[in-house]
Amino acid sequence: MRKSLESLIRNSVSLKFTLPNLDEEITVSQVNQGKFDDYCYEGASDSSVSKIIYNGIVEFANNEFKIDYEDIEKEQLKTIQRKIKYNRNAKQSEKLKYGFYGEVLLDLFLRVFFNTEVFVARGYFYSPIENSEAKGFDAFHLIENNNALELWFGEAKFYQSFYSGIKSVLNKLNTSLSDDYLTKNILVIINEWENMTTTSPKAKAILDKIDDDPEIVIADELIANDIELVYPIMVAYQRESSHSYEESIRDCVNKISDILSQQTSNFSMSIKVSIFVILLPVNNSNKVKEDVIEWIEQKKPLI
């Protein structure tokens, strides 16, 4: 990652607090499980969030070792054309619905604030022919530490309404957190072997074994290697103008409880799973995206 991009992120976003927050009497979200808190971030301004998204598109979508940093502007144009869903001729209302806004934020937040390593960049799963959002998890990251391997496969939403964003994730929780879905995503990663960013020897050894044996049960192989799935759910959303930051977060926690109370979450995975939420409220979600769109159209120079 460019140092200038990392500096932009660290100077533009701060961790307000984690959940549970005893001082504010805000509990951890009901979806949370495992070893992580929920994380509540705040941007210095909506414009700063726009700058992060716009300047992070290239690193989000590409193997950073294949990026020509000497001609980063050209890389940006190629990425927007080939690696994300973006149609310059689409109506503004359609452009505001694209998924890359939240996905870029998730990718960058995981790398900068949680020290993850990219497994395979998200852009390699997009097809210009299909012209639809790439399928699968929204981030393929990992952390290897002392031979312990965590797969950080996450989801990201950037909606005007927090409720709509989180509901779209929670409604498919039983599917997303299943052996079958994880297996399919692992196979997709293997198909992008040449674009893999990670240097993790353990991850590559496991994938090499899976690739070599088409009859292997992937879930069993992950269990044998004591692999854990970490499932971060990032939701950027527009907070109500009458709410303080703390009130907005409390409302999010309550909405998660409301949604989960209306559905049966019985996901079952063979490997260990940790789930946590990353929250980023903004003042005007459409304005954040409109700035990104304007800069894309103007081909604004990157930092």
Q: Among 18, 228, 205, which residue's Cα sits nearest to residue 113? A: 18
Residue 114: phi and psi, rounded to 5, are -120, 0
pLDDT at 150 over 90: yes
Strands 272-282, 228-238: pairing is parallel
Structure pTM?
0.96
Give the pLDDT mean for 166-170: 96
Cα torsion for 292, 294, 296, 297, to the nearest 10°? 160
Q: How confident is the model at residue 132 (pLDDT cuts 50, 70, 90)?
A: confident
At 146 the pLDDT is 83
- What share of the chain has pLDDT > 70, as a percent? 100
| 17, 38 Cβ separation under 8 angstroms | no
Q: Give the count of alpha carbons within 13 A of 79, CB side only.
A: 27
The string of pLDDT tens digits covering residues 59-95 is 999 999 999 999 999 999 999 999 999 999 999 999 9
pLDDT tens per residue, range 265-288: 778 899 999 999 999 999 999 999
Q: What was the pLDDT predicted at 255?
A: 97
Confidence of residue 198 (pLDDT cuts 50, 70, 90): confident
- Angle 299-68-56 (CA atoms, 0-180°, nearest 5)? 50
Distance between CA 160 and CA 4 in Å, rounded?
A: 29
The DSSP H or E segment spanning 231 is strand 228-238
Q: How confident is the model at residue 26 (pLDDT cuts 50, 70, 90)?
A: very high
pLDDT digit string, tens, across residues 7-21: 999 999 999 999 999
| Interacting residues of 145 by C-beta distance below 8 A, sequence separation 6+ | none
